Amino acid sequence: MTYVKDFKWEKGLNVKDLVNQYNNLGFQSIELARATETIIKMKKASAKVFFTFTSNMVTSGLRGFFAQLIKLGIPDIIVTTVGGLEEDIMKAYGEKFVIGDFRSDDVALYEKGVNRVGNLYITNESYCNFENIMLPILSKLYQKKKRWAVSEMLKEIGFMLNDEDSILYQAAKNNVDIYCPAITDGAFGFHLFMFQQDHDDFIVDVVKDFKNILLSTSQDDIKGLISLGGSISKHHAIFACLLNGGLDYAVYMTTAHEKSGSMSGATTNEAKSWGKVKDDSDAVTVIGDATITFTLAMISALEKLNEEGLLKNG
């Protein structure tokens, strides 16, 4: 039997010890501490780790942290939405996003050419600059070959970037495949469309990439998932794992709730009814903003993994 213990601050308190105290604090803090332990277990078990996140995570300052996690050898496979890829490329070329306010005057922002993502601002000018970036990138891809699976295309783009804090760059450099099943759902997709108007033999093959992610794992693999948010990125990964026997470890972090019946709010328990998560798996769902919950849980896990020499470039 575990009892509630009073939380105490001590001088020199590190993240690992902070999160350890969460085990006896109550409510979502206990789930967050469990998430840390589950991440550690999946790495110690040499699981193939799927890491999924929605584009707003890259809009925020988590982008460089994600790139660092790739460098440290945490994820083996990444699944995300196209907005995060666009913004990763934008930031690699020097674009900066502004911290604004959730209570902004959105009509006034529109008139100024500013787009709001929560309390973060992205200007129309950033997207204009992105267009100037994409045309030479697509031209280079076309010159190399005419047909690309999405993950192959993203790896090639990653090699074109020169930014240590870029997710695409670190993934290419460390041979981590990035899957984006909804590659057309954003500015990136629009530029693919426009490029194809002048190069009708240029094909981005989404179906081939579905085959690639299915063959990226097997029934014999130990499989783990760290999923931030929901959407197609979460489902694409767990569906691939479902067809390969289900997940052995799973950490979901989301602000959505299961009452809506959405993929974003679906818990690891719900996933067991589909066989996406094995019935005897080590799985946890943490409700809360991932900019807070994920950084705490992941840094705590990194500190423990580093102590045991289990990080790739620690």
8-41 per-position pLDDT tens digit: 999 999 999 999 999 999 999 999 999 999 999 9
pLDDT at 313 over 90: no
d(CA 172, CA 156): 7
Percentage of the chain lying above the pLDDT 70 cut: 100
pLDDT score of 260: 85
pLDDT at 277 over 90: yes
Inter-residue contact 209 to 237 (CB < 8 Å)? no
pLDDT score of 81: 97
Q: For 191-213, what is each residue's pLDDT tens digit?
A: 999 999 999 999 999 999 999 99
Could you give the domains of the chain?
15-94+127-307 (3.40.910.10)
Inter-residue contact 47 to 224 (CB < 8 Å)? yes
| Amino acid identity, position 67 | A
**Could you count the other beta carbons within 10 Å of the beta carbon of residue 292?**
11
Q: For 81-97, what is each residue's pLDDT tens digit?
A: 999 999 999 999 999 99
pTM: predicted TM-score of the whole model, two decimal places = 0.97
Inter-residue contact 161 to 89 (CB < 8 Å)? yes
Q: Which residues are catalytic?
A: 276
Inter-residue contact 82 to 186 (CB < 8 Å)? yes
Residue 5's φ and ψ, nearest 5 degrees, are -125, 145
Q: What integer is the mean pLDDT of 271-277?
A: 93
Q: For 134-191, what is each residue's pLDDT tens digit?
A: 999 999 999 999 999 999 999 999 999 999 999 999 999 999 999 999 999 999 999 9
Scanning the structure block, which residue is given the tokens 């604004």? Answer: 100
pLDDT score of 314: 60
E strands, 216-276, are 223-228, 247-254
pLDDT at 257 over 90: no
pLDDT score of 263: 87
For residue 254, what is the DSSP state?
E
Q: For 88-124, what is each residue's pLDDT tens digit?
A: 999 999 999 999 999 999 999 999 999 999 999 999 9
Give how far Cα 226 sits from Cα of 35, 80, 202, 269, 309, Å.
9, 12, 34, 15, 21
Local structure of 24: helix, strand or coil: coil
d(CA 280, CA 301): 22
d(CA 57, CA 81): 10
Nearest CA among 261, 235, 257 for reference residue 247: 235
Q: Which residue has the higher pLDDT, 1 or 30?
A: 30
Nearest CA among 261, 220, 214, 256 for reference residue 236: 214
pLDDT score of 199: 98
Residue 80's φ and ψ, nearest 5 degrees, are -150, 180
CA atoms within 13 A on the CB side of 198: 8
d(CA 91, CA 109): 21
Q: What integer is the mean pLDDT of 232-253?
A: 97
